[in-house]
Chain A
Amino acid sequence: MSVTTLEMRAGESANVVLREAAVLDPIAGIDAHHDVVVRDGRVAELADPGEADAAGLEEIDASRLHAFPAFFDPHVHLRTPGQEHKEDIETGARSAAAGGYCGVLAMANTEPPVSTPADVEALRADARAVAAVRVGFLATVTRAMEGEELTEMGSLREAGAAGFSDDGLPIRSARVLRRALQYQRLCGGTIALHEEDPELSGRGVMHEGPVSAVLGLDGIPSISESTMIARDAAIAGYEGGRIHVQHLSAAESVEAVRAAKAAGVRITCEASPHHLCLTDEAVRSLDPHRFKMNPPLRAEADRQALIEALRDGTIDCIATDHAPHAPEEKEVPFEQAAMGVTGLETAFAALHTHLVLTGALDLLPLIDRLSAGAEPFGVERPSLSPGSEANIALCDLSATWTVGEDGYESRSANSWCDGEELTGRVLMTLAGGQVAYRLRSFTLGVAA
């Protein structure tokens, strides 16, 4: 069985010391102030504050800053090949680095979809040339995402596919999913599922409820998601398959996953920052740039259920579902606009602002869930324990900033928190042992 491999560009190894940083690593169990010493791209030592030997190292005053294991996003859209006007591997990876991420997994619903070993190999070569963080590529479950015939999953794994997903579309046929899960025993590779019953979603463009009733927009009922999760969890349980449920949005879906986990199904799931921070009330503005995505923003009770599930671990990890779109695809009436929002550059700041500062979630589980997305796909989690490869997000928890005021690293500007003031900011990211990102004002020493 092949191992999941991620790619990034070759570069100079980091040699830095983060002086007197507040180090927080939920997995290694570290919660103390240290000088974090990074030599030749690895965490060499967590020294007592002010005690590290800085010879040959760049010194960074981190005395009012936090050092976290860098984040990992198992669900982004890099739009390559075919839609490079929205994003490409270089801009997408740069956007990830700016958000404190050391790795991302790119979805396969490109134009054409990533369905052949040659597609995967070409993308990996691209990432080796340009990516500032580690990038893995999923391949589709079905040929051309048509939902009918399986891709050559074995050859795709050998070519380095990080897993399989028809994300953007559900796998309509229970038979096809069953066959994929049977084949998975041969080749491995977690199957990530966009759960939605197209019959129930119909022409829906937002959550079905009082807000859609007032706006006269077709609704997507919560059961469109939860019934498919229940179906697919049953199939995975029967076949002993490994599935990962993408972007949970509804309370009923949380219950379906909870029941599946209790029944011993090999299932993990993710939630996205916008579903954890916003509700369908935001759609009253009819602004598709920020508030149109699939699954849609749901009711406050759904949001609370997601937060509770994130707290108790039913939701394993946070995934941004970073979905860049060009302006002309969003400067149209809500119903006509493309689905999706960007999220890599704001995930930490938004969740810190909306969940941690409001008391809904502690900092420690937030940091855990932001990097836990590696595990479902067999990727090693980033860690700050000595000897680890340097994957570090250096953050200022008290810095306030306005999203988008200096533009975006992403090629697209459809951020769901565009124009919002957030508290907490990523100042520097180390990814794969290299310095992947520095906030310019921080580099210049003028950051607040």
Chain B
Amino acid sequence: MRHLLSIEQLTRAEIEAILDRAESFAEVGRRDIKKVPTLRGRTVVSLFYESSTRTSSSFELAAKRLSADLVSVKAAGSSVEKGESLKDTVATLSAYDPAAIVLRHPYAGAAQLVAAWAEAAVVNAGDGKHEHPSQALLDVYTLRRRLGSLEGKRIWIVGDVLHSRVARSNLIAFRAMGAELTVCGPPALIPRGLDQLGCGVTHSLEGVGEADVIYALRLQHERMSESFVPSLREYAVHFQIDARRLGSRQLLMHPGPVNRGVELSGEVIDSPQSLIGEQVASGLVVRMAILYELLAARDTEPAPASGNGRATPIGQPA
């Protein structure tokens, strides 16, 4: 694996290899000294064009736990505000010869472009509404720890799928691990043609009792002004997961940050079925595993002959 640009690029075996590696880092987290020397002397650049709490903090802590030097650049307060292009910013940061660039960007395909421009391994930490592969990996990791295997498990993804990169990456990852997927939300927030990805599509929570896992998505308030839904209240009536809808044996997930009282009621967030806290904890070890696979495992293992995980150079059909 040269870059982590999308879940789509990964095979099931590659996903499992990262998760197994994360298990071994979970043990490190239980030690008094939670640091390993693996990436000593190497530089990780964290380049975030959007605000983020979980993803940026866990990637940065992951790099530090692996003893890498960290350069953290946020768009606000950087040359981006002066109108520097992504290409020029990447060229500037590449002068530090980073081993990895972790990129969050508001537009699809940004990580793929950077992978074509830079020598460093590129980790897509979210590109527009396209993909968020590290989130999908930590969600699979969290579920695997709880359920053992996702094979044959029924997972419902509920809410604003249209604007969610998490939904796209998780759909692909959960399916790759053998789960059966149903997507549920108001018609205007389910992209046309999504069913061709191999998931069921429904606009009612009526059948949600069959789900082993309910994965709720954040509803962004600004969606109302564009008439995707008539009101938050009406959305909550039809799609909120509350104590009445969440069964005692069902698991509840959410990528955060939660709109309490909109997609989730307050009581389910803190219920025993909720994995939301575990998801955050998993984020750290899974992101350590991602950096390890890209930067350390690559030094010892021969490159895969298939060229899997290589960035498709722009200009070539993927």
**B residues near A, CB below 8 A?**
85-87, 105, 107-110, 112-113, 127-131, 165, 168, 191-194, 196-197, 312, 314-318
* Complex interface: chain B residues within 8 A of A334 (CB): 107-109
Is A285 in contact with chain B by the CB < 8 A criterion?
yes
Is A359 in contact with chain B by the CB < 8 A criterion?
no
* Complex interface: chain B residues within 8 A of A217 (CB): 108, 128-130
On whether the beta carbons of B86 and A332 are closer than 8 Å, the reply is yes
Task: Give the number of residues in A that approach B within 8 Å (Cβ atoms).
Answer: 29
Given contacts A216-B129, A285-B317, is CB(A333)–CB(B86) below 8 Å?
yes
On whether the beta carbons of B314 and A285 are closer than 8 Å, the reply is yes
On whether the beta carbons of B85 and A328 are closer than 8 Å, the reply is yes
A381 and B239 alpha carbons, distance in the complex (Å): 62
* Complex interface: chain B residues within 8 A of A209 (CB): 192-193
On whether the beta carbons of B317 and A215 are closer than 8 Å, the reply is no
A209 and B105 alpha carbons, distance in the complex (Å): 24
List 6 interface pairs A-B (beta carbons < 8 Å), by A numbering: A217-B108, A285-B315, A289-B314, A331-B87, A332-B113, A333-B86
State which residues 286-333 of A face B: CB under 8 Å.
286-287, 289-290, 328, 331-333
On whether the beta carbons of A213 and B107 are closer than 8 Å, the reply is no
Closest residue of A by beta carbon distance from B114: A333
Is A210 in contact with chain B by the CB < 8 A criterion?
yes
Is A122 in contact with chain B by the CB < 8 A criterion?
no
A321 and B315 alpha carbons, distance in the complex (Å): 21
A424 and B275 alpha carbons, distance in the complex (Å): 61
A22 and B85 alpha carbons, distance in the complex (Å): 52
A187 and B312 alpha carbons, distance in the complex (Å): 53
Is A335 in contact with chain B by the CB < 8 A criterion?
yes
Closest residue of B by beta carbon distance from A221: B192
A331 and B113 alpha carbons, distance in the complex (Å): 8
On whether the beta carbons of B193 and A212 are closer than 8 Å, the reply is yes
On whether the beta carbons of A216 and B165 are closer than 8 Å, the reply is yes
Closest residue of A by beta carbon distance from B107: A333
Extra A-B contacts (15), CB below 8 Å, given A214-B197, A333-B128: A212-B191, A213-B196, A213-B197, A216-B131, A216-B191, A284-B317, A285-B317, A286-B314, A286-B318, A331-B85, A333-B105, A333-B108, A333-B109, A335-B107, A336-B107
On whether the beta carbons of B318 and A284 are closer than 8 Å, the reply is yes
* Complex interface: chain B residues within 8 A of A213 (CB): 191-194, 196-197
* Complex interface: chain A residues within 8 A of B128 (CB): 216-217, 333, 335
On whether the beta carbons of B109 and A286 are closer than 8 Å, the reply is yes
Closest residue of B by beta carbon distance from A333: B107
CB distance from A194 to the nearest CB of B (A): 24
CB distance from B181 to the nearest CB of A (A): 14
Is A282 in contact with chain B by the CB < 8 A criterion?
yes
Closest residue of B by beta carbon distance from A211: B193
State which residues 195-254 of A face B: CB under 8 Å.
208-217, 219, 221
On whether the beta carbons of A332 and B131 are closer than 8 Å, the reply is no
On whether the beta carbons of B192 and A219 are closer than 8 Å, the reply is yes
A216 and B194 alpha carbons, distance in the complex (Å): 10
Closest residue of A by beta carbon distance from B171: A214
On whether the beta carbons of B108 and A286 are closer than 8 Å, the reply is yes
CB distance from B116 to the nearest CB of A (A): 10
A215 and B196 alpha carbons, distance in the complex (Å): 13
On whether the beta carbons of A208 and B192 are closer than 8 Å, the reply is yes
CB distance from B178 to the nearest CB of A (A): 20
B-contact 0/1 string along A151-180, CB 8 Å cutoff = 000000000000000000000000000000
Is A418 in contact with chain B by the CB < 8 A criterion?
yes
* Complex interface: chain B residues within 8 A of A285 (CB): 312, 314-318
Is A112 in contact with chain B by the CB < 8 A criterion?
no
* Complex interface: chain A residues within 8 A of B127 (CB): 333
* Complex interface: chain B residues within 8 A of A387 (CB): none
* Complex interface: chain A residues within 8 A of B113 (CB): 331-333
* Complex interface: chain A residues within 8 A of B192 (CB): 208-210, 212-213, 219, 221
